[in-house]
Amino acid sequence: MDDPISIAPTNDSDTSRLGTRFLIYPQVPIIAGYERPETVWISTPRGQVAAGPSDHRMYVVDPLIGKTPYQFPSLPPLPGDFYPPVEPGPDGHFDHISIGSREFLAVHSFACVRRALDICESYLGHEIPWFFSSTYERLEIIPHLIWNNAQSGFGFLELGEDDTREEALPFALNFDVIAHETGHLVLLGVIGMPDNPESQPDFLAFHETASDFIALLGLLHFDSALDKILRRTKGNLLISNELDRLAELMDEKQIRTASHPLRLTEVGLDVHDRSRPLTGGLFDSLVEIYHLLLLERGLVDLDTRSIDYLRRDLIQSDVEQFLLSGQSGYALHHFAYKAALAEARDLIGEAFTKSWLRLDCSQISLRAAAEAFLAAFEAGRGWRFTDRVYENLRWREILD
């Protein structure tokens, strides 16, 4: 008889390297299928996330008395009394906090910011400094204000609530909003701030695109979201789904979509509106690369390279045919589809974040941003799809 398998004792220092556990809702819990949060690990080692939560990059403070939103010259640190900082569990993790409690808002907002930062840093391969680091060592996160807005700025990220509903929904539970705001901070940390950003509408429009796309990429890093998106669409991302809906709640108070046919000559000068063609071109490239990976792996039959423009030329009969070409085998190949989507996500994500290193913050235009992305993509692992990225950006009238 074989000897029983022996289990080596767990080395405490080894497990600390895994990071620290938190619970995050990939989408707000009022959306069907997202009622339960997902367990995630942030990069800060267990034992190095202190009460707050806080680590060497950020900390949470929850004001005891309602505060007004930060506006220059009012900046962190916020004076006054605060709710007690949330303590880690005996095991050093934060996934024990009761969902629905005020403490959970603090923990969830910290985890979402850290998650978005971890994703961007993993693509770039190095730590991203805060653009305000000469003044503040760490980012201050305020998890809840009675305020129908959210914002990030010089040393802070603060979250209000969506009060358009019968029961207000704190933005601290909205990963998309938090990742978007973190995206602004991350981009500023990489490319810097021009002397007069208000005079550069394309700088601000590019910021909106970058922040929206960081939130979109962030969603695709949740295992449960990948499963739900693919199962709901049977693998066809041309169908409207949670991936292409972007919650931009700063000024417009509406849900925007990444999947749309708008070109640069069809939008106005408002920074949110002007950002949409570039966001759409990035989204189209993500979807097309995903489908071309499926084609390479023998999982679909339709070659999107035979179509002049994916969203313009796929009439309803083509969409139905496209669905049939993949859905017949989807049920048996869910995990193969999932692997293709994850690879497309990373090819786009790596190139997009690395393209920022090619930009001069004082001379940013949407064309310059698109050219930098195309160059970074061609230099990266997805180089064989460069022509498709170019065609998507050209059709959007961002490139010639």
Q: Which residue has the higher pLDDT, 201 or 211?
A: 211
- The mean per-residue pLDDT over the stretch 369-384 comes to 97
What band does 328 get if pLDDT is binned at 50, 70 and 90?
low
SS (H, E, C) 354-367: HHHHHCCHHHCCHH
Q: Does residue 234 surpass a pLDDT of 80?
A: yes
Q: Does residue 283 surpass a pLDDT of 50?
A: yes
> In this predicted model, what pLDDT tens digit does every residue of 148-175 receive, in sequence order?
999 999 999 999 998 887 888 999 999 9
Q: Does residue 7 surpass a pLDDT of 50?
A: no
Mean pLDDT of the chain: 88
Q: Which residue has the higher pLDDT, 308 or 341?
A: 341
Other Cβ atoms less than 10 A from the Cβ of 66: the count is 9
What band does 247 get if pLDDT is binned at 50, 70 and 90?
low
Q: What is the pLDDT of residue 321?
A: 54
Q: Which residue has the higher pLDDT, 83 or 301?
A: 83
Hey, what amino acid is at 189?
Answer: G
Assess contact for 274 and 201: CB atoms under 8 A.
yes
> What does the alpha-carbon distance between residue 157 and residue 242 come to, in Å, rounded to a whole number?
25
- The mean per-residue pLDDT over the stretch 190-199 comes to 86
- The mean per-residue pLDDT over the stretch 288-304 comes to 89
| Residue 161 φ then ψ, to 5° | -150, 155
- The mean per-residue pLDDT over the stretch 232-247 comes to 76
> Both tokens of residue 102?
């005020």
Q: Does residue 398 surpass a pLDDT of 80?
A: yes
Assess contact for 293 and 338: CB atoms under 8 A.
no
> What does the alpha-carbon distance between residue 110 and residue 142 come to, in Å, rounded to a whole number?
9
Q: Does residue 5 surpass a pLDDT of 60?
A: no
> What does the alpha-carbon distance between residue 104 and residue 176 come to, in Å, rounded to a whole number?
17
- The mean per-residue pLDDT over the stretch 38-66 comes to 96
Q: Does residue 317 surpass a pLDDT of 70?
A: no
Question: pTM score, two decimals?
Answer: 0.91
**So what's the architecture of 18-193 in CATH?**
Roll (3.10)
Determine if residue 382 is left, alpha or beta; phi over 0 gives left, psi from -120 to 50 gives alpha, anything else beta: alpha
Quick one: what percent of the chain has pLDDT higher than 90? 71
Q: What is the pLDDT of residue 331?
A: 84
- The mean per-residue pLDDT over the stretch 263-279 comes to 92
- Would you kindly state where each structural domain of the chain is located, as residue ranges? 18-193, 202-233+241-395
